[in-house]
Amino acid sequence: MENPKSTIHRTSIDVMDAIYNRRAVRNFLPKKVDSEIINQLLDTAIHAPSALHEESRAFVVIQNRSVLDRISETAKLLMKNETKDQHDLQREHIIEIAEQKEFNIFYNAPALIVICSTFKGPFVSADCWLAAENLMLSALSYDLASCVIGFSVPALNSPEWKTELEIPEQMTAVAPIILGWPAGATLATKHHSPVILKWL
């Protein structure tokens, strides 16, 4: 629950405005996200729907710059190895990104929140993504921006990183979300109209 004595500024935002104004941001200010805010965002995440109310989610919060940089390097190496047998434009683009020495897959964001499934099952991945949506939308009330970094999933689920991050063997990193204050405006992107297969 939100602390009534909190000094952290939070803006009341309409849920529709949050949905339509959310952006995937990849450029952040070098400003640390307060732990009180992160705890509040995690609280919004656990209030997301979950199948059978199993609440099959756990979280890893990383703000250590050195750790984020090391995960980024592992992810880039895995990206190159996983695409070595592919021969298409997507592979070329991935390798081009991975070989940029200065490129950080987390875009130097001050925080990474990893949503993990606590067991294997048919709905646990959906549960994690529902929690991710709650977290990303509620971040807007603190003027924070976010972006899902799917490229980091193989690294986060590697044995060495699961050990270092204390992710139990039976758990799986599903939704890695970077978080921070945006450095400038992010333009809106166009979306296709809903594809309605049938309306009875």
Please report the pLDDT score of residue 112 as a whole number: 98
List of residues 6+ apart from 11 with CB closer than 8 A: 141, 142, 143
Angle, CA of 28, 112 and 32, to the nearest 5°: 50
Query: In order of start, what are the domains of the chain with their CATH numbers?
Result: 23-180 (3.40.109.10)
Please report the pLDDT score of residue 1 as a whole number: 47
What are the pLDDT digits (tens) for 90-146? 667 777 777 788 889 999 999 999 999 998 888 899 999 999 999 999 999 999 999
Give dist(CA 72, CA 90) in Å, integer.
19
Please report the pLDDT score of residue 4 as a whole number: 46
Each residue's pLDDT, cut to its tens digit, for the chain (200 residues) gives: 445 445 577 888 888 888 778 888 888 999 999 999 999 999 999 999 887 777 789 999 999 999 999 999 999 999 877 756 666 666 677 777 777 888 899 999 999 999 999 988 888 999 999 999 999 999 999 999 999 999 999 999 999 999 999 999 999 999 999 999 999 877 778 888 999 999 99
Residue-level length of the chain: 200
Angle, CA of 38, 43 and 46, to the nearest 5°: 125
pTM: 0.86
